[in-house]
Amino acid sequence: MVLSEQVRPLSLALTEEHEMLLAAVRDFAQREIAPVAAEFDESGEFPLDTVRKMGAMGLMGIEMPEEYGGAGMDTLAHVLTMIEIAKADASHSTILSVNNSLYCNGILWFGTEAQKREWISPVASGEQVGAYSLTEPMSGSDAGNMASRAMLNDAGSHYIINGRKSWVTSAPYADRIVLFTMTAADNSPRPPHSDGGKNHRNITAFLIDTEQPGFSRGKTEPKLGIRASATSEIIFEDYHCPVENVLGSVGQGFKIAMTVLDAGRIGIAAQALGIAEAAYEAALIYAREREAFGAPIGSYQMIQQKIADMKTRIEAGRALIYQAVIAKERALASGGRYTTEASMAKLFCSEAAAFVTDEALQIHGGMGYSKEMPLERYYRDARITRIYEGTSEIQRMVIARRELGLR
């Protein structure tokens, strides 16, 4: 009896197109983003100029078909891009990831043709910024337990949305948002919480235009890391959303949210890997150059142990990401899920990023603790990868439940 699904052998090759993309993104990230990363981290300002440039390069909708304003590439292209952008600056990669994975994917996979044309194109091309809103002040990990609600009006033409959502990445600048909120189980014009059905089956996804009345933004979060990726609350007060802007079907919202998060988690794994690589490469240079007790510190075994452990975790993380990439492409081609692979990649890479950034900072000693060097920023930026798009605890829960056949 096969108890646990075997991991299939890896076969992933970079095409010429991938190589060209990688070279272009690496050059852009190091030339245009890395030099301003510390400044934007310090000010907490949203880097709109460089975000627009990422859009012009096709990076804001890298996996979206060209007919919807995207670059028409695949998951591997997305992952390679995320690693390079995160290496230069994690904040930029967060904005990129949410735009691509959480906003565009949901519409591509669940939207009507008209919705794809209207809602993907401006965001995939980078003219507008997209966001994804699931979390609420009183529900984070328990995402299905929401207080916000949408009620159908008597005419059946609009949903009236009320409530407060929190921790919405890019919200202060987002033009469009995929929103998840409660609707009545029978889609009637009555409060959703009175029907007693299983909560997650009453969640519906809506396409939100942030220019419309009834939408406002709350406080911007003062964050430890990824400080240039603006995050805020959003508030709905009798926001009228036309029924045409329901994404998928009424009550399908939780499935949409989870399906999209599987893709997003691969992106966050790649982001974590990029941050880890940046810290590791800095540590490698420092270990070669810095001398103590008459020799480069890299000649001492205690530093060598750190280098070996950092490198091993980075490469193990990359293998898990590539495995998730293959699983996702397979699922897109022939159905099925890649939930376990995505969660394993996200769990391992985010934990590895915490380890690597900490050890890299330690190798730098006092210099690592100083804002004169980027180590302390890598250390702060890595921290969020163990929290957003599902905490490490949630990833473990997802992996174990699927292994045990509980979901």
User: Which residue lies nearer to ligand CAA by CB, 70 or 251?
Assistant: 251
User: Which residue lies nearer to ligand CAA by CB, 310 or 325?
Assistant: 325
Binding segment toward ligand CAA, per CB under 6 A, in 48-56, 137-145, 279-287, 365-373: 137-145
Contact status, residue 302 vs residue 381, Cβ threshold 8 Å: no
Which of 29, 134, 178, 226 binds ligand CAA (CB under 6 A)? It is: 134
84, 289, 389, 403: the catalytic one is: 389
Contact status, residue 124 vs residue 104, Cβ threshold 8 Å: yes
Q: Is 169 in the site for ligand CAA (CB under 6 A)?
A: yes
Which of 221, 262, 376, 381 binds ligand CAA (CB under 6 A)? It is: 262
Which of 261, 331, 353, 361 binds ligand CAA (CB under 6 A)? It is: 261
User: Which residue lies nearer to ligand CAA by CB, 262 or 351?
Assistant: 262
Which of 103, 119, 280, 388 binds ligand CAA (CB under 6 A)? It is: 388
16 is catalytic: no
- Shortest separation between residue 170's beta carbon and ligand CAA, angstroms: 7
User: Which residue lies nearer to ligand CAA by CB, 262 or 376?
Assistant: 262
Q: Is 258 in the site for ligand CAA (CB under 6 A)?
A: yes
Distance CA 318, CA 273 (A): 7
Which of 337, 383, 396, 402 binds ligand CAA (CB under 6 A)? It is: 337
Exposed e or buried b per residue across 15-44, where buried means at least 16 C-beta atoms within 10 angstroms of its C-beta: eeebeebbeebbebbeebbbebbeebbeee
Which among 332, 354, 356 has a CA at the least distance from the CA of 65?
332
Which of 178, 353, 398, 399 binds ligand CAA (CB under 6 A)? It is: 398
Contact status, residue 349 vs residue 272, Cβ threshold 8 Å: yes
* Residue whose entry in the numeric block shows the structure tokens 């008209």: 114
From its phi and psi, is residue 187 left (phi > 0), alpha (psi between -120 and 50) or beta?
left
User: Which residue lies nearer to ligand CAA by CB, 40 or 280?
Assistant: 40
Per-residue x/- track, 187-216, ligand CAA (CB under 6 A) = -------------xx---------------
Which of 116, 352, 390, 399 binds ligand CAA (CB under 6 A)? It is: 390
Per-residue x/- track, 138-167, ligand CAA (CB under 6 A) = ---x-xx----------------------x
Q: Which residues pair with 239 in a beta bridge?
A: 161
- Shortest separation between residue 272's beta carbon and ligand CAA, angstroms: 13
Which of 53, 164, 193, 255 binds ligand CAA (CB under 6 A)? It is: 255
- Shortest separation between residue 74's beta carbon and ligand CAA, angstroms: 20
Distances from the Cα of 248 to the Cα of 115, 244, 363, angstroms: 10, 10, 50
User: Which residue lies nearer to ligand CAA by CB, 142 or 315?
Assistant: 142
Q: Which amino acid is residue 149, in one-letter code?
A: R
Binding segment toward ligand CAA, per CB under 6 A, in 110-118, 150-158, 295-303, 382-390: 382-390
Q: Which residues pair with 159 in a beta bridge?
A: 152, 241
User: Which residue lies nearer to ligand CAA by CB, 303 or 349?
Assistant: 349
Which among 125, 223, 222, 123 has a CA at the least distance from the CA of 173?
123
Binding segment toward ligand CAA, per CB under 6 A, in 54-62, 116-124, 253-261, 320-328: 253-261
Restricted to residues 64-123, the positions that interact with ligand CAA (CB under 6 A) are 98
Determine whether 390 is exposed, middle or buried from the number of CB atoms within 10 Å of its CB (0-12, 13-18, 19+): buried
Contacting positions for ligand CAA (CB under 6 A): 98, 132, 134-135, 141, 143-144, 167, 169, 200-201, 254-255, 258-259, 261-262, 337, 339, 388-390, 394, 398, 407
Point out the residues that are catalytic.
389
